[in-house]
Chain A
């Protein structure tokens, strides 16, 4: 008990709400992700998976609720005197350095080489010396099996290769957690394998990961815990064997059944 209190989870989401005008997309989501664990998030289109991920790194501002990284709230600071202060954009940017994000559409920067994409943030955001950044960048490219493409420009790579560069770019910031938003959904089916392979490797290395995906077999295989999101609420949560194999919720069961047909 004392242990649980002294080591806060890597990511903790507390009663998160997000509203776009009249549309309430997240309606009170709470969960926690322990260091070194992999959590997958599944759910129908529009259920709020992307929004949840984007609220975790504050690309979307939560309407209410909290996101904590290693026990520290991203959005505001609790002063010792009990006062609560909203954090500035700069402070939030500081938190984002520790949250690697991989987007469905890769979002590489086309005017920089592959290595340039990877070392940009270590150089300009972390202020790392150039030599060190280059070394780190090459190591990250090696992890995604793209060492030989370091000097290419993104436009000359396949989709699968581009997504792996995006993963290397996120890894280069040595984040505490990696967030994947349907990393393979924009890829041709024959290219998803290489990206999933890289993600599998990261999971095996003990990387903390939150993975939004439609690849159910993959989610079941790599995750320590699965979350089924429905209409902005966690409808089912548990070990993958339970969520995928024997869900308690009928909606989750139907969702999975639909995918099989």
Chain B
């Protein structure tokens, strides 16, 4: 028990600080991934001249290992476009890119699932395509893909451990630092794993609760 107290409890500030960074970077990456994913899906579906670019981009995001993506964004992008300028930014950008590819395909499948008739009915009462998308298509798509979106967040959380490699001081980074100080990995890594499990569990539970509320609100509850 003494070990746990010395290695974990006494270092709780460091670990929690790391956890906070993890939460933050995941939240940013997630928000960006959703916006990008939806944008890419819409471009692929509706903006004919840019369709192939979006398609290529989506494939690139999905086919590149997250580690390669992280290195690429961190070391190559600054050379090419002068951005990102911090490891932190590079971290969430890489995470967002990876997920945006998957989310784009999820959104696309969801949007294609809404029958053409519903959109025609919207057009027939004078709705613009944008209004119809916002009021008719998107709510149904969100309900439909909510579980996938939650899963995607947990993927981001797991992948986020890699940003420690580029010295972003997330939970994994702090944990490894403590291990390197004491060379006693058992307690620290176990505690780290427990924190990740808790975080992912909390996210899943919250996501499920939100999804259920959404379904209820739109009368699509079970």
- Give residues in A with beta carbon < 8 Å to B: 57, 59, 89-90, 93-94, 96-97, 99-101, 103, 105, 107-113, 120-121, 124-125, 153, 155, 166, 169-170, 173
CB nearest to B127 among chain A residues: A125
B124 lies within 8 A of A124 (CB): no
Q: Determine which of A57, A89, A96, A110 lies in contact with B220 in the assembled complex, contact meaning CB atoms within 8 Å.
A: A110
> Chain B nearest CB: distance from A166 CB in Å?
8
Please report the C-alpha to C-alpha distance between residue A153 and residue B127 in the assembled complex, in whole angstroms: 21
Q: Is the CB of B139 within 8 A of A125?
A: no
Q: How far is the CB of A101 from chain B (nearest CB, A)?
A: 4
Is the pair A93, B219 in contact by a Cβ cutoff of 8 Å? no
Quick one: which of A109, A153, A170 has the most chain B CB within 10 A?
A: A109
Instruction: Give Cα A94 to B127, complex, Å.
Output: 9
User: With A107-B118, A125-B131 given, is the CB distance from A96 to B136 under 8 Å?
Assistant: no
Q: B127 touching A124 by the CB < 8 A rule? A: yes
Flag if B126 contacts A94 (CB, 8 Å).
yes
For residue A166, which residues in chain B have a CB less than 8 angstroms away from its CB?
A: 121
Q: Once the chains bind, are A121 and B125 in contact (CB under 8 Å)?
A: yes
Bound CA span A169–B127, Å: 13
How far does the alpha carbon of A107 sit from the alpha carbon of B122 in the complex, in Å?
A: 9
Task: Report the nearest B residue to A123, measured CB to CB.
Answer: B135
**A108-B121 contact in complex given A113-B219, A124-B131, A124-B135, C-beta closer than 8 Å:** yes
As a 0/1 sequence over residues 110 to 151 of chain B, the CB contacts with chain A under 8 angstroms (1 = contact) are 000001011011111111110100011001100100000000
Of the residues B115, B126, B139, contact of A93 by C-beta under 8 Å: B126
Q: Give A170 to B220 CA distance when docked, in angstroms.
A: 24
Q: Chain B: how many interface residues by the 8 Å CB criterion?
A: 22
B218 adjacent to chain A (CB < 8 Å): yes
B131 contacts A111, CB within 8 Å? no
| CB nearest to B143 among chain A residues | A111
Instruction: Indicate if the CB atoms of B120 and A103 lie closer than 8 Å.
Output: yes
Least CB distance, A233 to chain B, in whole angstroms: 26
Interface residues of chain B, those whose CB is within 8 Å of chain A, are 115, 117-118, 120-129, 131, 135-136, 139-140, 143, 218-220
- Minimal beta-carbon separation of A120 from chain B (angstroms): 7
- Which residues in A have their C-beta under 8 angstroms from that of B218? 111-112
**Which residue of chain B has the shortest Cβ distance to A58 in the bound complex?**
B123
In the complex, the 7 A-B pairs of residues with the closest C-beta atoms, listed nearest first: A97-B126, A153-B219, A121-B125, A111-B218, A107-B121, A107-B117, A101-B124
- 6 A-B pairs besides A59-B123, A110-B219 with CB distance below 8 A are A90-B128, A93-B126, A103-B121, A107-B121, A113-B219, A125-B125
A-B contact pairs, 22 of them (CB 8 A): A89-B129, A93-B128, A94-B126, A100-B125, A101-B121, A103-B120, A103-B121, A107-B115, A107-B117, A107-B120, A108-B118, A109-B121, A109-B122, A111-B143, A111-B218, A111-B220, A113-B219, A124-B127, A125-B126, A125-B131, A153-B219, A173-B125
B residues in contact with A170, CB < 8 Å: 124-125
Contacting residue for B125 out of A90, A155, A169, CB 8 A: A169
Q: Which residues of A contact B121 (CB under 8 A)?
A: 101, 103, 107-109, 166, 169
The residue in chain A whose Cβ has the minimal distance to the Cβ of B139 is A111
For residue B117, which residue of chain A has the nearest CB? A107
Assembly CA distance A89 to B135 (angstroms): 19
Set A89, A99, A111, A173: member contacting B140, Cβ < 8 A = A111
Query: Across the interface, which residues of A come within 8 angstroms of B120, CB to CB?
Result: 59, 103, 107
B118 adjacent to A109 (CB under 8 Å): yes
In angstroms, Cα B126 to Cα A57, docked, is 10
Provided the pairs A103-B120, A103-B121, A111-B139 are in contact, do residues A96 and B126 lie with their beta carbons within 8 angstroms? yes
- State the CA gap A93–B122 with chains docked (Å): 10
A234 CB to closest chain B CB (Å) equals 24
For residue A96, which residues in chain B have a CB less than 8 angstroms away from its CB?
A: 123-126
Q: Which residue of A lies closest to B221 (CB)?
A: A153
Inter-chain CA distance A96–B131, complex, in Å, is: 15
A68 to chain B, nearest CB (A): 18
